[in-house]
Copies of this chain bind each other. A is one copy, B any other.
Amino acid sequence: MCGVIGIYSQSDVSKKLFYGLNSLQHRGQEASGICVFDGKNMVLDKGMGLVYDNFDDESFIKLKGNIGIGHVRYATAGGSYEYNSQPLLAFSKNREFALAHNGNLVNHKSIRKELEDEGMLFQTAIDTEVILSLVAKYYTGDIIEAVKKTMSRIKGAYSVVMLFEDKLVAFRDPYGYRPLLIGRAKNGEVIIASENAPLEIIGTDAIRDVEPSEIIVVDKKGIHSEFFEKEKRQHCIFEYVYFARTDATLDGVNSYNFRRRCGEILSKEAPVDADLVIAVPDSGTPGAMGYAQESGIPFAEGLVKNRYMGRTFIKPTPEERELSVKLKLNPLETVLRDKRIILVDDSIVRGTTSKNLIMRMKKAGAKEVHMRIVSPPVKYPCFYGIDTPSRKKLIAANYSVEEMRRRIGADSLAFISMKGMLDATLMKEDVFCKACFNGDYAVEPKELVEYEK
């Protein structure tokens, strides 16, 4: 996962990009970067680490420009190297192209191979460079044409922001896997970003989703929009389950309300007699509240999350790793002692965190721990940008619910049904990608599946 932002303005945008990226920081903490166009050249500053560690007063002396893009990167497959950080900046045909991407292409390996066979080389391990290469390759004077040709080649999930000459360009894949929104402020400033938070914080009024397959060009002539071929929508439902901020409203679904309704529905589908509903903070909280509200069982905070994270050292000892885990969540003994607990979490992936948590809650005095998950079992890997592990490591792909219950040490375990989850979206149509739950991959991830074997 990643987060992107782009701003087109009449005044300096670098600090706005900075604050906007801060509000997208939950989408990626590994690396961050900003690229602005100073009227003549692109200025790029990026590196490993959090947004507010990477930029200081000195950065902004250099990052002067009225158009810019930014990116936060989640540690994924490409590997944790600085050269995998974005935005990418490239020179081709006497021009500069800067680009940042959220999503994942299912056919980037074959395109890459094809391009490499043509002699092209790559300086990163990320699929973003494939998009950049294609745009540059296909560019012959019309940037929209180059983007269209690129879109005809790449398959999968992509929400892209791009700087090209004095233009801010954005485009989204035909299925709309990853979110992308656009807003305009009263002073004419245009902001495009992965979620609505940066738009609201920086201040825009007219916020709308960039449509699947839409191509947007913002320049001095205004906002221009075109479409590539549309497909049946496949908005990633896991964005609402876990990834997006609570205040996100993406493609018509509000994340907070969705999570809360999932909790309400699950309390009907899988009731249990208990004393308290406890959430795994922060993403489990709305679901837990919905569950509590609907069931009438009181909600309480029984796990304290540390607001500040510990740094990762180069070679941590196992003891240090353990300390780091305990630092993250601390069970509240005074709340848990002798209580029957319903523990609500957004999802179970590997199961190791749940197991560790339940063990520590029981050590802190919890009499029973009934686990309730406000999404169905994750049985399939995501090939569209969520960093799920391979099937071998997905606990739900390998065990029955009862076996899972035993492994994590819960007294009972239940997941919301697929229908329940879809109902919680309040959408009339099913416009969602649920591949991680049911294995229905609208865009065939053939080469990636093979790679996994």
A positions within 8 Å CB-CB of B? 15-16, 18-19, 22-23, 25-26, 44, 50-53, 55-58, 60-62, 81-83, 88-94, 97, 113, 115-125, 132-134, 136-138, 197, 200-203, 245-247, 249, 254, 256-257, 260, 282, 285-286, 289, 293, 298-301, 304, 306-311, 313-315, 320, 323-324, 326-327, 330-335
Contact = CB atoms under 8 A, between A and B. Distances in A.
A376 B54 CA distance: 42
A58 B314 contact: yes
A301 B90 contact: no
A83 B257 CA distance: 45
A52 B125 contact: no
Q: Among A58, A62, A134, A201, which residue has the most Cβ atoms of chain B within 10 A? A: A201
Contacts of A50: 308
B285 A301 contact: yes
CB-based closest 7 A-B pairs: A119-B137, A52-B311, A92-B121, A247-B304, A25-B308, A121-B136, A90-B121
A267 to B, nearest CB: 14
Given A256-B301, A260-B300, A299-B299, A332 B247 contact: yes
Given A116-B136, A247-B330, A256-B334, 6 more contacts: A90-B123, A118-B120, A119-B137, A119-B138, A120-B137, A247-B331
A326 B119 contact: no
B138 A56 contact: no
Q: Among A90, A120, A256, which residue has the most Cβ atoms of chain B within 10 A? A: A120
A51 B308 contact: yes
Contacts of A51: 308
A358 B151 CA distance: 45
Nearest to A15: B320
A366 to B, nearest CB: 14
A115 B55 CA distance: 35
A201 B326 contact: yes
Contact of A19 (B15, B16, B298, B327): B327
A306 B93 CA distance: 42
24 contacts: A19-B324, A26-B307, A44-B81, A44-B83, A50-B308, A56-B313, A61-B314, A62-B314, A90-B121, A91-B121, A93-B116, A93-B117, A118-B137, A119-B133, A120-B133, A120-B136, A121-B132, A201-B323, A203-B326, A247-B332, A249-B334, A289-B299, A289-B301, A307-B307
A134 B44 CA distance: 26
Contacts of A285: 301
A316 B397 CA distance: 50
A197 B334 CA distance: 13
A202 B116 CA distance: 38
A316 to B, nearest CB: 9
A368 to B, nearest CB: 20
Nearest to A197: B330
Contacts of A286: 301
Given A122-B91, A256-B335, A311 B136 contact: no
A330 to B, nearest CB: 5
Contact of A254 (B260, B300, B334): B334
A256 B91 CA distance: 42
Nearest to A50: B308
B310 A52 contact: yes
Contacts of A117: 93
